[in-house]
Amino acid sequence: MLSSFLTLLIVISVARFFGFLFRKLGQPSVMGEVLGGLVLGPSVLGALFPNTMVAIFPKESLAFLKTIAEIGITLYLVVMGLEIDLPRLKRSAKSAVSVSLASICLPFGLGLWLANSIHASYAPTGVGALPFGLFVGVSLSITAFPVLARILSDSPLHKTEIGDLALTCAAIDDVVAWCLVAVVTGVLSSSLTGAGLTIALTCVYIAFMVLVVRPLIAKMLPKLERDSERLPQALLAFAILGALLSATITDLIGIHAFFGAFIFGAVIPHESLIARDVRDRLLDFVSILFLPAFFALTGLKTEVGLLQGSHLWVCGLIIVLAIAGKFGGAFFGAKVSGNSTRTATILGLLMNTRGLVELIVLNIGLSLGILTPTLFTMLVVMALVTTFMTGPLLRLTLKRT
């Protein structure tokens, strides 16, 4: 039996190897790391060498990986929140609002229709149509802001008007998606009356963070940063402790702790020294050490072998609806707001990126008992397909226009 640290060593090594390969293929390295996690799970290693998989992931190591993964995702969502520039969203909201709304509403509506059609066959026992439908709708509506930013940074659209518009739309989508996850969690964990209270408390907390905490932090920062080019350890500790406190509060409210970490990162001024320094210090460390543990756990929960017969057809339908909803919604919203067909096409392709954010949300759904392992696997496959196709299709579109 392997020690937990040796298990972590194997997980990180495999993730880095596949990340390197995908970088060479022009894909975001994080997607290679996701695939590395799947390779270590029952879909590949478990199917070919089941005893080896059991030896690499004994129960003790799984508990260790779960703890590492939860810490890592919490810190990652702080960084993701720091990437959200609220004033920029406000400045670009007028041009981005129609694209964002359409790219959320259409796939969300298709997700509700899909959930209603498959509820009897794919919803776990005891999960009502409302939370199941809401969660499937959210799953089809997500755009991964960090992966989209990486794709844009490697393309000619970096720091162009179209690229900025896409990032703004993705940021709005991320904020809305996490709010919807909070709503679903509240509905699932309470009666309708209790869910209403949870949702009301969530809205109050968001308003408090944006209207009270954000101005307070903005007022304190110049004084704290005046004589320092790099943050003292105490200020970095303040950022992490603040995120953990926010995560604790949202958990007590009845929504997922991850949302609290995200909203705390979002209220810290985007261009402040603390935001830049926390991003610089945390991102590489979290990406190298913590996220591979999350990818491995996701891979262990994903069994591609389950997708046989009718399940395979349902998985294909999910992929088609996800693409049609996200691309179609963004394309329609862009055209309505007066953009050219070329711009609308590019925005549709970019908004179809789901990536790591989708996997985080799907893991929440599985842990809450909203998703069965089979549906979880279908949605993971959908997330991978829609993300992998973005880069090549974008390059092809740019060449032809």
**Tens-digit pLDDT profile for residues 44-57:** 888 888 888 888 88
For residue 160, which of 394, 385, 337, 396 has the smallest C-alpha distance?
A: 394
- pLDDT bin (cut points 50, 70, 90) of residue 193 is low
- pLDDT bin (cut points 50, 70, 90) of residue 354 is confident
For residue 234, which of 243, 244, 224 has the smallest C-alpha distance?
A: 224
Q: Please determine, for residue 160, whether its predicted confidence score (pLDDT) is greater than 80.
A: no
Domains in the chain with CATH codes:
4-61 (no CATH), 74-400 (1.20.1530.20)
pLDDT at residue 315 in the model: 93
Question: Measuring CA to CA, how many Å separate 334 from each of 39, 52, 91, 109?
Answer: 38, 50, 17, 19
Do the beta carbons of residue 107 and residue 326 sit within 8 Å? yes
pLDDT at residue 118 in the model: 93
Q: Please determine, for residue 111, whether its predicted confidence score (pLDDT) is greater than 90.
A: yes
The model's pLDDT over 55-72, given as tens digits with 9 standing for 90+, comes to 888 888 888 888 888 888
For the chain, percent helix, then strand, then coil, each to nearest 5? 85, 0, 15
